[in-house]
Structure 1
Amino acid sequence: MFRSLASARGQLRGMSVWTVGSANTLKVLRLVAPPERREWAAVDWAAVERQVGLRLPADYKELVGVYGAGCFGEYLHLYQPCAAWRELDLVHQVEQGLSSLRFLRDAGALVPYRVEDPADLVPFGRAENGDECYWRRTGVEPDEWTVVVGDARGDRWTEFDGGLAEFVLGVLAASSSIAFNPY
């Protein structure tokens, strides 16, 4: 568990999250939401990427390396490689998410969030309220992907024009740019 939303929001008040710059986003995150442990088990990223069938964004790998298993702001869970619980296991969730999206497409239903290929949405986490978080594969390079959140209680999808680290910082800062609220 990392710092509470209230604690992080207090520290971020008045800071323009979007002017921090992606190179410094992880540094800011470490200041406002320090990891509980200094070391986590090393992840064989090449093996994980083979299992999911794609390269993963660098900020995701760094977040997992720095924070390990846990929850940001008592609200946002990131799927982890080799998680003990399948519901939070990255490989399982990518396989299940892609299978579900392909089922919808093959059944003639609209695939959520206006993607032609279900593989363009890659699940990376979920919120306590059931909202699903995805990378939207907007470019060839994983570090170009944006974040999309699917509302668990409806068909509303919200895109965040930034990477995972900026998204996590935005959630902790309760940015009005992100329609993603734990309450």
Structure 2
Amino acid sequence: MCETLAAISRVLGLRPGTDDRRDYDWSAIESRLGARLPGDYKAISEGLPGLSVGGFLLVIPPVVDSSGLDDVARASAGFKDWLDDMIADPDWEDMIPFAPFDGQRGLLVWGITINGDECCWNVQSDDPDDWTVVVCGDKGAEWSTFDGGLTAFLVALFEDRASIDAFPASWPGPDAVSGYSGRP
């Protein structure tokens, strides 16, 4: 098991099974998106497909699956449209501290919470493994940053080393249940 899956499995109490593994055409996905994706996201998508973290946060799959959920490209395009509208609104323009993904830089969505918070990579480097995490909560009224990637972010949340303003103070609690592919 790769380091990413070992770290995620340890903090979430999951056991990835070989029957659950998914393979993706990453070249096609990245071409459609217009960006390379971080290695830990690829490992999570393949080894823990449909990862739901603590019953609150979903790691969006790279392609549309039977769940009907948007994939990363569609989620990011929708978020870009929303951010563009907010930036163009004089009442909101000064409250939006980040630009949407433009094909080279900006926010690219990787997850969503049950409260509608958007979890993004802050694409500021050509190396996707250097991207950090930004969470847009409360429909743009709350912004939180984490100086690390997806795996480091999830591990830090569950080890109580990170706090996100938009997330409930009680999450993740001791009873937070995580799962993937419909399995706890």
Q: TM-score if structure 2 supplies the norm length?
A: 0.74
Aligned to 1:29: 8
Distance 1:67 1:25, change over 3 A: closer
Aligned to 1:163: 149
Distance 1:153 1:103 in 2: 12
Distance 2:5 2:45 in 1: 11
Identity over aligned pairs, percent: 29
Distance 1:54 1:176 in 2: 27
Deviation of 1:76 (Å): 1.3
The runs of 5 or more residues in structure 2 that have no matched partner are 171-184
Distance 2:123 2:160 in 1: 25
Residues 93-102 or 79-88, more deviating: 79-88
Partner of 1:114: helix, strand, or coil? Answer: coil
Residue type matched to 2:9 in 1?
R
Partner of 2:110: helix, strand, or coil? Answer: strand
- Post-superposition CA distance 1:85-120 (Å, at most 9, x none): 4544222101211222223334454276423x4210
Paired residues of 2:86 and 2:96 also in contact (CA < 8 A): no
Superposed CA RMSD in Å reads 2.5
Aligned to 1:103: 85
Aligned to 2:34: 53
Distance 1:36 1:62, change over 3 A: closer
Does 2:25 correspond to 1:44?
Answer: yes
Paired residues of 1:78 and 1:88 also in contact (CA < 8 A): no
Partner of 1:148: helix, strand, or coil? Answer: strand
Residues 101-110 or 74-83, more deviating: 101-110
Aligned to 2:129: 143
Does 2:54 correspond to 1:68?
Answer: no
- Post-superposition CA distance 1:3-62 (Å, at most 9, x none): xxxxxxxxxxxxxxxxxxxx9554222233324532322111111111111111111111
Paired residues of 1:122 and 1:134 also in contact (CA < 8 A): yes
The runs of 5 or more residues in structure 1 that have no matched partner are 1-22
Paired residues of 2:96 and 2:140 also in contact (CA < 8 A): no
Partner of 2:22: helix, strand, or coil? Answer: coil
Residues 53-62 or 91-100, more deviating: 91-100
Partner of 1:133: helix, strand, or coil? Answer: strand
Q: Which 4+ stretches in 1 moved above 6 angstroms?
A: none
Deviation of 1:171 (Å): 2.2
Partner of 1:80: helix, strand, or coil? Answer: coil
Distance 1:154 1:105 in 2: 11
Residue type matched to 1:174 in 2?
D
